[in-house]
Amino acid sequence: MANSKAHDLNCLTISELEALAAQRMDKQTRDYYNEGADSGSTLAENISAYQKYRIRPRVLRDISSIDTSVTVFGHKNSIPLGVAPTAMQCLAHPDGETATARACKEMGVVMGLSSFSTTSLEDVKRSLGDEHPGALQLYLFEERQKSRQLIQRAKKAGYKAVLLTVDTPVLGRRNLEIRNQFKLPKHLKIANFMQDEERDQGVDNTEKETGANESRKRSAASEAGYQEGSKRVLPSGPITFHSHAPNPKLCWDRDIEWLKQECYPEMEVWVKGIATAEDALLACHHGVDGIIVSNHGGRQLNGALATIDALPEVVDAVRSQSSKIPIHVDGGIRHGTDVFKALALGADFVWVGRPVLWGLAYKGEEGVKLCLKLLSDEIRLCMGLAGVTKVEDIGKEYLVKIDRSGFVSRL
């Protein structure tokens, strides 16, 4: 019989965690975290697309010793899964990103930190500790100096990689966020930019609008004669995600080279938000260190392909190159079997976003640990039952695809 003491009997699955978290978050936070862009169909398909695949288990293979560990950013990770960068974690729990970092450290799992965190990158790195790897997610600002400062701080703090988010030239449309007039509560701050704000404005910004209100101000600015396009006018208020996360001018030639020069040799440069073979090839040609296949958890272009469906073309493109960079994937991963399927389709590693936020909302650091433990146990169990003892042995021979009529085909 399973040892009940080792379990939280209220929460044995990520979907139970989602339900428990929903009870603990206020409406604004729950909607901000959980929604996708527009109708949310890409968000839903990120999850449901995993059902098209089934596992072909092998038996009689001595699985008494299973190693779930992999190397990421030059460090050993206990499972082939990391915590995806998600903004403003103090909305979920007062300990926010600090709790996530402590849980990651304890579980041996890499943490991706959003540039738009509510805890500074230095404080998060202190919670991760010297030895434990962190990756800073980056929105490359039009004001290069601000990005340069952030990169230098990340280097100094000991981050191993930057993850340049490339799927946000403009922000996707999130209707609940607009309807709720999303606003970061006054006691919270977008911590990485506090010094910038104070220096730029010579005041302590007490009103930290982050969402629809700021958007409305920008519309008013456009109506007042500012033209976006040839010369973009950035609002003079605080750095908010509506003013600073999107960068419509971001492009391969100029920006990737610049970023590599700024980050090397201390930090690797990855692009997060690749969804096609064409862009995967461009990423290879521009010499990035790795790719994350992502559609931002269905929060950007609704109608885009589910990430597990985009993965095979990206894998084929990268494998056609002589220097094969690692491929990671995120979006819709809610169970260890999803991780197994993504790896079987050619991913080297996966990242999870919302389930970690749910863990945080449920019980802070303990809740994030619970989330990572559930996924970790499921990965190990899936490997054992499929007859695989090493992550690198998970290949497409372990999968079949089922079409709508139930027809099963080998990959």
Ligand X SMILES: Cc1cc2nc3c(=O)[nH]c(=O)nc-3n(C[C@H](O)[C@H](O)[C@H](O)COP(=O)(O)O)c2cc1C
Ligand Y SMILES: CC(C)CC(=O)C(=O)O
Active site residues: 296
Tabulate helix, strand, coil % of the chain (nearest 5).
45, 15, 40
Nearer residue to ligand Y within complex by CB, 106 or 142: 142
Q: Is 139 annotated as a binding residue?
A: yes
In the complex, least distance from residue 296 CB atom to ligand Y, rounded to whole angstroms? 6
Q: Which does 354 bind (CB under 5 to 8 A by kind): ligand X, ligand Y, none?
A: ligand X
- Rounded to a whole number of angstroms, the minimum distance from the CB of residue 299 to ligand Y is 4
Query: In this structure, what token pair is assigned to residue 341?
Result: 């399927």
Query: What type of residue is 156?
Result: K
Closer CB to ligand Y, residue 93 or residue 341?
A: 93
CB-based burial label for 347 (10 Å; 0-12, 13-18, 19+): buried
Q: Measured from the CB of residue 57, what is the shortest distance to ligand X in angstroms? A: 26
Nearest to ligand X of 116, 362 (CB atom): 116
By CB under 6 A, tell whether 301 contacts ligand X: no
Q: Provide the minimum distance between the beta carbon of 9 and ligand Y in the complex, in angstroms, as a whole number.
A: 33
Beta bridge partners of 293: 274, 329
Angle at 276 between CA 274 and CA 281, to 5 degrees: 85
Distance (Å, whole) CA 190 – CA 192: 6
The DSSP line for 317-331 is HHHTSSS---EEEES
Tokens describing residue 369: 């640990």
| Torsion angles phi and psi, residue 262, rounded to 5 | -75, -35
Question: Any contact of residue 119 with ligand X (CB under 6 A)?
Answer: no
| 333 marked ligand binding residue | yes
Contact 362, 17 (CB under 8 A): yes
Count interface residues toward ligand Y (CB under 6 A). Answer: 7
Helix (H) or strand (E) holding 70: strand 70-72
Query: Which of residues 50, 116, 358, 398 is near ligand X by CB under 6 A?
Result: 116
Q: Are 16 and 10 in contact (CB under 8 A)?
A: yes
Among 33, 303, 31, 296, which Cα is nearest to 179's?
A: 31
- The answer to whether residue 116 forms part of the interface with ligand Y (CB under 6 A) is yes
User: Least CB distance from residue 209 to ligand Y, whole Å?
Assistant: 13
296 is an interface residue for ligand X by CB under 6 A: yes
Helix (H) or strand (E) holding 45: helix 41-48
If binding is defined by CB under 6 A, does position 330 make contact with ligand X?
yes
Beta bridge partners of 54: 400
Cβ 35 to ligand X, closest distance in Å? 8
The reply to whether 354 sits near ligand X by the rule CB under 6 A is: yes
Question: Which has the closest alpha carbon to 235: 215, 250, 212?
Answer: 215
Choose between 93 and 299: whose C-beta lies nearer to ligand Y: 299
87 is known to lie in a ligand binding site: yes
- Note whether 296 binds ligand Y by CB under 6 A: yes
| Contact flags string 262-281 toward ligand X, x per CB under 6 A | ----------x---------
Contact between 97 and ligand X per CB under 6 A: no
**Position among 158, 297, 336, 359 found at the interface with ligand X (CB under 6 A):** 297
Q: What is the DSSP string of 107-173?
A: HT--EEE-TT-SS-HHHHHHHH-SSS-EEEEE---SSHHHHHHHHHHHHHHT--EEEEE-S-SSPPP
99 labelled as ligand-binding? no
| Residue of this chain nearest to ligand Y (CB atom) | 241
Give residues in contact with ligand Y (CB under 6 A).
87, 116, 171, 241, 245, 296, 299
Binding-site residues sit at 32, 85-87, 114, 137, 139, 165, 174, 272, 294, 296, 299, 330-334, 353-354
Give residues in contact with ligand X (CB under 6 A).
32-33, 46, 84-87, 114, 116, 137, 165, 272, 294, 296-297, 299, 330-333, 352-354
Binding-site residues for FMN sit at 85-87, 114, 137, 165, 272, 294, 330-334, 353-354
